[in-house]
Structure 1
Amino acid sequence: MTLKTIAESLGVSAKTVSRALAGKDSVGEELRTRIRAEADRLGYVPNSMARSLVSGSAMTLGMVITHPANPFYSLLISAVEERCRANGYSLLLMVTEEDLETERDAAEALLRWGVDGAVVIPVQEGAEHWERLKDSGVPIVLVNRGLDGFECDFVGVDHERGAYEAASHLLDSGATSVHLLEEDVPFSSAADRRAGFQRALAERGLPSDDAITLVPQSTHGRRVLPWEPEAAYQCARQLVSRLEPGAAVLTGSDYFALGLYRALAEKGIDIPGHVAVIGHGDLPFAAYLQPALSSVRPPADEIGARAADLLFERIQGSTAPSVSICLPPELKIRASASDRDHHEPNREN
């Protein structure tokens, strides 16, 4: 079914049909309604490839992420896809599993597909392949992680601020010592959380050298999974033996908090009476743990929307200097880090 078929059925030109289906103002509302109704009746489906050849645009954004199982990235994808739909674009999703060669293949595929722009969460092991994509005329917005020396727009979370505010809350609430259970990864997000944690302790004259426990990545074949509760549980078992009553633990993810909860429960240690806990991510299960888990909530929806909006501005011809946007997370305090003297279950969801 073609534009010509619809045009012949209504006795108008194919160009008129094309303008009507594209929403052009040059076609009156009554005729546009008739044309759209006839297109629906005949089962007309626009040929995106043909339209791309005519317009010189693929009407597609590429999105490269590291882990599809990460709930933070799931929210990012939804936000970017929503913006794509609103602009009449499709979204091509690719996954790297933190593997540099896979990421290079993804960049090459985006180049072959001729996408109009790309939202990228890099593995942070080189930028040559992204430079090549950018030099071909494809605008790129980095999300959550930057790339040294690579000039493009960036939208992410202020991880340093989130960890600083969480550690400060624990210390200001009376914690006698604060520990960080964090990923053992070379990524800027984890490094920024460590920096925020260390700043909070340094401002209060407290040492941080022995206060950080790193959780190793777990590898299953080519799938690298840094959020598994099991790895955090094994590390937490060692950490728990060093925790005195009145201590507190900040974890790099809510999944790590799950492992910590189990290790504390096995030793009969009360949360938050003896040890307070704050996680990162504010995943859906956080509010339903017992006690409800306090957590640092990243604005995933807003990050995805801002990244897509920046990309569409570039696609439309913006030549403004590159911008770097770090959005503040929100500290959600629930029962796991409430006042130790008067703590009651916090039923906030």
Structure 2
Amino acid sequence: MVESRRVTLKDIAKSLGVSVNTVSRALTGKDSVGEDTRARIKAEAERLGYVPNSMARSLVLGSAMTLGLVITNPSNPFYAQLISAIEQRGRVNGYSLMLLVTEESPDGDRAAAETLLRWGVDGALVVPVRSDGEHWARLDESGVPLVCLNRDFPALDLDFVGVDYEHGAYVATRHLIDSGARSLCLLEEDLPISPVEDRTAGFRRALAESGLQPHEPVRAVPTRRHESLALPWEPADAYRLAQEIVRGGDLPDAIMVGNDYFALGVYRALTEAGLRVPGDVLVGGFGDHPFAAYLNPPLTTVRLPAADIGTTAVDVLQQRMKARDDESAPEKRHLPAELVVRASSRAGRAH
């Protein structure tokens, strides 16, 4: 068996009859190399299969050229889009991505912060788990720029890029009211995080402006709790809550849910009870997950700007990385969500 060997700058230099220093300057974009020579060197490097040694390059540049990304659950379609956008934006600027998953665990959150510090990333984008946040504060104080994603954590006093969940829920609730609903309830996640708090606030604001009261207190759906924190949202929990609402006899005109997975459970509970969507109950979702348009009837929902959040967050982080001594106030960017109206909200009960 022939032992494979990594192609080096010396190999390229020997092949072309130039110095190793010339090859290095050409491949790192230094101006002191003529364009013809640079083109020859790049072509030969590609022919030989040269791959830059990232660790050596980091030592030369004094930078890991790596961004950290900490998320809670990659099975969430929102985070899947977010990861893709962040990776692409970082790659354009020469950065690799280190992805860490916390599974909503405070211990996992702390371990992620320690890993990023140990590996010396240039900056990090973080979806924090609700905890005291001291580990993120320590990472920030160590000189690693941080940007909070999707979940704002005011106690950390960091830049934030996320969705305007409050306005998105407000617009969706107003739409249900304008479609004829006079009694509404909200099924929300049972996590003490800013998106849940903001959606609930938007729901209540729309009701208050219309002189309405919630049909009942906002119902918490105990998702991702039973078998594994790594599981995505469970429609079964929303299904059981919707069954309780149906059995209660005082059916609301509309049910708003904090994510589209809950709508799956609501649809089934209503259908099994012989109720029609939207003829008997209007339903509105949140997230515009891929299946939303293919439900029967198609689900009215709020589309989240996942890709825009990813690219914006990388840009904000890189601004902080370039000006590490900048002591200006943290930047808070809430990007708008879009209401997508479909058949599940186009007709209500007769009043």
User: Normalising TM by the smaller chain, what interval?
Assistant: over 0.9
The answer to whether the Cα contact below 8 Å between 2:301 and 2:341 also exists between their aligned partners in 1 is yes
* Structure 2 CA distance for aligned equivalents of residues 238 and 292 of structure 1: 24
* Structure 1 CA distance for aligned equivalents of residues 232 and 74 of structure 2: 12
The aligned counterpart of 1:146 is 152
The answer to whether the Cα contact below 8 Å between 2:181 and 2:348 also exists between their aligned partners in 1 is no
Residue 174 (structure 1) aligned to one of 158, 168, 180:
180
Identity of aligned residues (%): 58
The aligned counterpart of 1:76 is 82
- AA aligned opposite 1:299: P
Residue 101 (structure 1) aligned to one of 101, 107, 127:
107
1:47-196 matched pairs, under 5 angstroms? 47-196=53-202
The aligned counterpart of 2:333 is 325
* Structure 2 CA distance for aligned equivalents of residues 178 and 221 of structure 1: 31
Query: What SS does the aligned partner of 1:154 have?
Result: strand
Residue 265 (structure 2) aligned to one of 247, 255, 259:
259
Change (3 A) 1:243 1:190: farther
Unaligned runs of 5+ in 1: 342-349
Cα drift, residue 83 of structure 1? 0.8
Residue 42 (structure 1) aligned to one of 48, 63, 76:
48
The aligned counterpart of 2:3 is none
The answer to whether the Cα contact below 8 Å between 1:124 and 1:145 also exists between their aligned partners in 2 is no
The answer to whether the Cα contact below 8 Å between 1:126 and 1:147 also exists between their aligned partners in 2 is no
* Structure 1 CA distance for aligned equivalents of residues 226 and 45 of structure 2: 50
Change (3 A) 1:85 1:226: closer
Cα drift, residue 316 of structure 1? 2.1
The aligned counterpart of 1:344 is none
* Structure 2 CA distance for aligned equivalents of residues 208 and 332 of structure 1: 23
Q: State how many pairs are aligned.
A: 341
Change (3 A) 1:236 1:310: same
The answer to whether the Cα contact below 8 Å between 2:75 and 2:232 also exists between their aligned partners in 1 is no
What CA deviation, in whole Å up to 9, does each residue of 1:62-83 have, x standing for no partner? Answer: 0000111111111110110001
The answer to whether the Cα contact below 8 Å between 1:183 and 1:252 also exists between their aligned partners in 2 is yes
Q: Which moved more, 1:63-72 or 1:210-219?
A: 210-219
The aligned counterpart of 2:28 is 22
Cα drift, residue 221 of structure 1? 4.9
Change (3 A) 1:220 1:211: closer
* Structure 2 CA distance for aligned equivalents of residues 134 and 270 of structure 1: 52
* Structure 2 CA distance for aligned equivalents of residues 10 and 278 of structure 1: 65
The aligned counterpart of 1:336 is 344
- AA aligned opposite 1:323: E
Q: Which moved more, 1:313-322 or 1:246-255?
A: 313-322
1:302-317 matched pairs, under 5 angstroms? 302-317=308-323
TM-score if structure 1 supplies the norm length? 0.93
Residue 238 (structure 1) aligned to one of 244, 268, 272:
244
Query: What SS does the aligned partner of 1:98 have?
Result: coil
RMSD: 1.7
